Structure 1
């Protein structure tokens, strides 16, 4: 019963029908290509959020570095219809393609009780939420708890409460993504995988707002 209520809550937030949540959505192959900024292995990772990928309930601000959730969504008449846009879930990708190197960025979270931060393949399905398939890897905050998520599996993460600022450390060649406690400058949890194609920072948001911080040096002690 608790799980059913949870699904209803998510449906209300994203505008998705309960049937589509209970069923298994088939990913649609993207029919258009998008030019991404390629992150050099020797440079600080810099990115903005890509409006063409943003779900209609997400509104970008702060020169496309932040995103805010709007319950009623944006006016469809002012939104460009693109196959790159997430259709059923409140997800947005960054405009940067990563295919090598070690990179670090941070995210400020305000007034949000549920969100996900991580990475996803540039070509990940726009019909699925990040963390539910094999082409995305995220850290999710929900019901005051943290989880590492990929392929729909949830692993509890020992980070208590919701800090205002979290860090993400990525090593493409080594195949891992780490959640960083920025106050202690230490890794909290690491997702280990193997990346097979270019990826991009990914964000999902069901209330409140997120602000991204890129172009950062890897903190001392994490290098």
Structure 2
């Protein structure tokens, strides 16, 4: 009876000490101060402090003479321990509640992790879908480009095959003509041989008769036999049409089948800034310190030394080349017809300009906003500009070796004109810009002589 009362008193103190702290305070009160874990086989000392039976026994076993409470240091004359079943029950309930709380906590953490992982999975799936769509698009674009490349080469192959067949047929006809002339000559020579053989036989007969009689008429036999034969036939087929610079000749003839072939553009003098001087053939433009006597027009550039090409394009593929020489600054490209030619604007796609720009003699820039520096290793002497309106493509090339420099891709919905700017001279940028004429070519059907 005394033990039960003491045990109840000990539990009351535990609960009273944990009342203010809730579940966490009770768990602290039911924790063994030796092992710092919830009490296992809880026992109560005479000072009403509780410990795990294995913990307190192990402590006292090391020094039986100094058995005391680890918390209050109260010494005991005997080491009798009393099991506290009430505390054991409370510990069991707290342990169960802790496990439940732990389960809730772990469940929340796992739920958060699951949501995070699902979000990551959705992001990965979205990226995979995006990449798969890109693969489909790349395959489609690749197939279209393969078709276009094959089509372009097939056109050249078709032209070359046709031209080859024409040339081979011409060679065959020339060979047949020579053979026929040789056969006619052989037939004539064969007839002459027969006639000569007959004359030789007659002459031999006459000689035999001459030995018997000198009265035989020999005047006709002494005359030279006249034989009609074909003139000497030349058998040399190695004429210039077959042995000349055949590849170069074919290339000049093949030029007419190119699409697009280099266009012969001219500068539009009605759009040229007053400080620009355009040559009579409209293929050369340079800056002048003095303004030209030109009329005012909304079509004319008034702020910068710009000029447009005379030819505008609304469809198709077009290519032209500009000789830039050793100029240290220039802007080249295309512009929309609707650009404001009286205002000072940035040369960028948003303003209707798609340009390649040179600054400081060796700095090449894409005319974007902001500018983008381009890694150009070899300084071009000529710039090639390619315009494909249906594809929304403007590309720039080093026309010396046809290496690619820059490409813009944007829908082109209105008339597009070639654009040129000499940029201000400043004493060091005085060279002119030249529009390269198409190479001199041969008509595709002109015979090779």
Tell me the residue number matched to 2:353.
136
> Residues 160 and 44 (structure 1 numbering): CA distance in 2 closer, same or farther, change over 3 Å?
closer
**Superposition map of 1:96-175 within 5 A:** 96-126=311-341, 127-129=343-345, 131-132=347-348, 133-143=350-360, 144-150=362-368, 152-160=369-377, 162-175=379-392
Task: Say what the alpha-carbon RMSD is for the aligned residues.
Answer: 2.3
Give SS of 2:270's match: helix
Equivalent residues in 2 for 1:83-94 (5 A)? 83-94=298-309
In structure 1, the residue matched to 2:263 is 45
Are positions 1:177 and 2:400 aligned together? no
Structure 1 position 111, deviation (Å) = 4.3
Higher helix share: 2
Stretch moving more, 93-102 or 162-171? 162-171
SS at match of 1:168: strand
Residues 115, 186 of structure 1: alpha-carbon distance in 2 compared, 3 angstrom cutoff: same
Deviates most, 185-194 or 82-91: 185-194
Q: Report the Cα distance in structure 2 between the residues aligned to 1:202 and 1:120, rounded to whole angstroms.
A: 6
Bigger-Rg structure (1/2)? 2
Matched residue, 1:198: 415
Q: Going by fraction, where is strand more abundant, 1 or 2? A: 1
CA contact (8 A) 1:145 1:161 kept: no
- Out of 109-118 and 153-162, give the one that drifted further: 153-162
Where do 5+ consecutive residues of structure 2 fail to align?
Answer: 1-258, 426-430, 440-449
- 2:272 paired residue among 42, 51, 54: 54
SS in 2 for 1:177: strand
Distance 1:183 1:161, change over 3 A: closer
Runs of 4+ in 1 over 6 A off after TM superposition: none
Residue of structure 1 aligned with 2:432, choices 205, 209, 216: 209
Residues 104 and 214 from structure 1, CA distance in 2 versus in 1: closer, same or farther, beyond 3 angstroms? farther
How many corresponding residue pairs? 173
How do 1:7-46 and structure 2 match up within 5 A? 45-46=263-264
Give 1:45 shift.
3.5
Structure 1 residues 43 and 179, CA gap change in structure 2 (3 angstroms) = closer
Change (3 A) 1:101 1:44: farther
**Following the alignment from structure 2 to structure 1, what is the Cα–Cα distance between the partners of residues 261 and 327?**
31
Q: CA deviation at 1:213?
A: 2.0
CA–CA distance in structure 2, aligned partners of residues 210 and 87 of structure 1: 19
> Structure 1 residue 44: deviation in Å?
5.8
Q: Residue deviations 1:128-151, cap 9 Å, x none? A: 35724431100000122111114x
> 2:403 corresponds to which residue?
186
- Is the 2:394–2:407 Cα contact (8 Å) retained in structure 1? yes
**What TM-score, normalized by structure 2, do the two folds share?**
0.36
Question: Which structure 1 residue ranges, 5 or more long, are not aligned?
Answer: 1-40, 217-223
| Alignment partner, residue 310 of structure 2 | 95
* 2:260–2:319 contact (8 Å) kept in structure 1: no
CA contact (8 A) 2:325 2:382 kept: no
Structure 1 length-normalised TM = 0.70
Partner residue, 1:15: none
